[in-house]
A and B are shown apart, each in its own frame.
Chain A
Amino acid sequence: MNQQLLTTTQAVDPVFIWIFGISAFLLLGITAVTVWFLIRYRRSRSPEPTSQVSGSVWLEILWVALPTFLVLGMFYYGWAGYLALRNVPKGALQVTATARMWSWSFTYANGKTSSKLYVPVGRPVEVNIVSEDVLHGFYIPAFRIKRDAVPGMKNHAWFVASNAGSYDLFCSSYCGVGHSAMITTVEAVPEAAFIAWLTEQNPAGAKRGQEVLKSQGCLGCHTLDGTKAVGPTFKGIWGHEVTVVTNGTERTITVDEPYVRRSLEQPNADIVKGYPAVMPAFKLSPDEVAAIIIALKGTAE
């Protein structure tokens, strides 16, 4: 691990502790003085006020000077920490994080995609954050970083994982019904394991289809094990008859290839009865669609 490198956590935590410390000190001070006055000057002990002063120039100058001095210090310290979060170290690994309702997918320089963010321990990672639909927020509490994913904009953030492990990654900016389920993990692994993972080809056939379902976020709303979620489960769906609502009228159809393709392109054309019309349209490559279809066929009994 590079000893010189300041982590993003090290850029934020001291500022936090500093501001928190001063605040706690001020709060305790104010509270202690207040309580002391309440006891000392309570009406039973002090039936008449013993002073009618209504101001003091010196004290009021102090009132202004003290907070000014403190907050300017906090401002400066906070800004310095922020700069450290913005300045990406040279040679950082580049990853693109694509947010969509309601899943993350990460794309690496060699085209590999993943639904978890794999990173090598000790190497800084620059994440380029984009959104395909509404606002989302890229947030990794363990590394104290957060940046919104804004449609039409490319944002960035960086971090470095000093220790191997699995860290939570949340969507921090409200994005609709699946917001709180839009979570995944950062998997920090040793460099060698990372290279091995990165160069491993995306799997073929049904396995590849499952990967696509995961990385495109389908599984954010559909399950593979038969439980009902935001959308209908995929278990046993192939060749099954379902009732859908098309333009307000109900009809029964069989799940086949044209139906699956239509559901991806115009998800709200046929809505399975009893479910909300919330699925976004997906623009997938032909081989991704083919892989999904193979995977769905595999779910039939």
Chain B
Amino acid sequence: MTNSEATTVQDERGFWKDTGKTGITSWIFSTDHKRIGFLYFYTVFSFFLVAVILGILMRIELMAPGRTIMGPQTYNALFTVHGVIMIFLFILPGFQGVFGNLLMPIQIGARDVAFPRLNLLSWWIYITGAATIITSLFTGSGPPDTGWTFYVPFSARTGTNVTLAVFGVFLIGMSAILTGLNFVTTIHRLRAEGMTWGRIPLFVWSVYATAWVQVLATPILGITLLLIIAERVLGAGLFDPGRGGDPLMYQHLFWIYSHPAVYIMILPAMGVISEIIPVFSRKPIFGYGMIAMSSLAIAAAGSLVWGHHMFTSGMSDLAVLVFSFLTFVVAIPSAIKVFNWVSTLYKGSISLEAPMLFALGFILLFSIGGLTGLILGSAATDIHVHDTQFVVGHFHYVIFGGSGFAFFGAMHYWFPKFFGRRYREKLALAAWILLFIGFNVMYFSMMVLGVEGMPRRYYDYLPEFHALNLTSTFGSWILFAGMVIMLVNLFHGLLRGEPVERNPWGGATLEWSIPTPPPTDNFVEEPVVTHGPYDFKGSGIP
């Protein structure tokens, strides 16, 4: 390490030590983007762990046909709550809330986001929404049993506590809109001197594209959710054919938001991967402009493909034609990114440390998710696999194998920066191997089950589906073991890990140029940017 005055964990604790303030209020009322980032991290990640347990319980139930550990109503509540938590409480707010907050301001050379108090308000609205959803599970006549999609007419008729849960999701949407506004403004207004658009790290580009999706698409979700509440509480009849309403209209409204939402989950993940790969290959990213532009292309074109969730619904054949075509068009920018990532490795100097392992895992699993998406985008084949276990396998490959692995990768990549300590590489490798194997055993089996015809949201199944379901459940245990090892390793690193200096991986983006852990104001002196984010030579890194 050439940086001689590198600060280590012993002598300084950076923003953890804040200016004299201590206790819980110095966190939950802090406007420091790093503290808010950690507030998000601890809440979002706890919800993730709860939903993982629910997933494991579902897999145990599906181990054998018939009743194994629970009844059908419980199973239906489990997949609903698992889906709602994973989507609305973990992955949607997760990337922007945690890594967007922790890193985006530092990477553009700012001291904080544009509206720090609004940022804190976003977290408070998020946590209020989350508390509302959790309340809905334990009050009224039982947890919601509609699936995370809340399809009418079932969601308008069921006796379970849907109204409250939907209101919670509505609040979380509000929080996302505010975060999006805040981040767009920050990236436009607060870049340091010399931080031109062509020098913005790709992670920031993806945060930027995502923020636009949050601002533009989330209001539609808000309206849709309010309409469900109107339907249930006021008996509005908007979606009730008996009174001239239309159930398909709900599906359109829901997916107009929820398909772009998939990009809120995946774009920042792609940004993380675009940071990790160049650093661990010691080479500039291949095709910077293409990667940045393809993020924007995905964000824009992705808002026009929602109908691919409705090929069997009875919508017109013309609509099927158009949506199938547009769906194939959005596949192109994702493919471009994959090619660019792989090309970055060429003639590099590659080290396979934990963040890189997760990035490579991402590329493979996301590719499988994307390629199986082609089968769903093609009208003929979608008819067969729609609403089957194939879809469940496919979207777990995209959001868990893709976004989830990128989330783990980001945790391992920026862990030393924020905690000033290291985890054990060997244990991280062991955890990664188990996660990777368990993941594929579990979800590949589910995709095969779908091709064989087993529908999704099935509490029970015919005996012919037994062997693969059992295999899938074994896979979930391997995956779970990997997750436990990963968490133990990180936790141990946090307490006892070896201290690190400011730039353990040799990164060229701004966060690696400041002390570890970052001070409250991020930069000791105003940064002036003179080189690109992946210019490892220009930044003086060996």
Contacts and interface: CB of A to CB of B under 8 A. Distances in A.
A59 B343 contact: yes
Nearest to B346: A37
Interface residues of A, number: 85
Contact of A42 (B352, B360, B388): B352
Interface in B317-332: 317, 320-321, 324-325, 328-329, 331-332
Contacts of A277: 159
Interface string B363-377: 110011001101101
A152 B375 contact: no
A3 interface: no
A46 B348 contact: yes
B72 A180 contact: yes
B144 to A, nearest CB: 12
Interface residues of B, number: 87
A178 B460 CA distance: 10
A38 to B, nearest CB: 6
Nearest to B341: A34
A166 to B, nearest CB: 12
B200 to A, nearest CB: 15
Contacts of A177: 72-73, 76, 145
Contacts of B457: 174, 179-180
B345 A34 contact: yes
B232 interface: no
A269 interface: no
Contact of A174 (B151, B247, B320, B360): B151
Given A34-B363, A174-B151, A174-B154, A152 B247 contact: yes
Contacts of B185: none
A70 B81 CA distance: 38
Interface string B176-220: 000000000000000000000000000000000000000000000
Contacts of B367: 26-27, 30
Interface string A16-45: 100110010011001101100110011100
B154 A134 contact: yes
B312 interface: yes
A264 interface: no
Nearest to B245: A152
Interface stretch (A80-88, A205-213, A245-253): A80-88
B281 interface: yes
A301 to B, nearest CB: 29
Interface string B138-168: 0000000111000101100111000000000
Interface of A: 11-12, 15-16, 19-20, 23, 26-27, 30-31, 33-34, 37-38, 41-43, 46-56, 59-60, 63-64, 66-68, 71-72, 74-75, 77-86, 133-135, 137, 139, 141-142, 144-148, 150-153, 155, 168, 170-181, 183, 230, 276-278
Nearest 4 A-B pairs (CB), nearest first? A152-B241, A141-B453, A81-B380, A78-B378
15 contacts: A15-B378, A23-B371, A27-B364, A30-B342, A41-B347, A46-B349, A55-B286, A82-B317, A134-B153, A137-B387, A142-B453, A150-B241, A151-B241, A153-B247, A183-B462
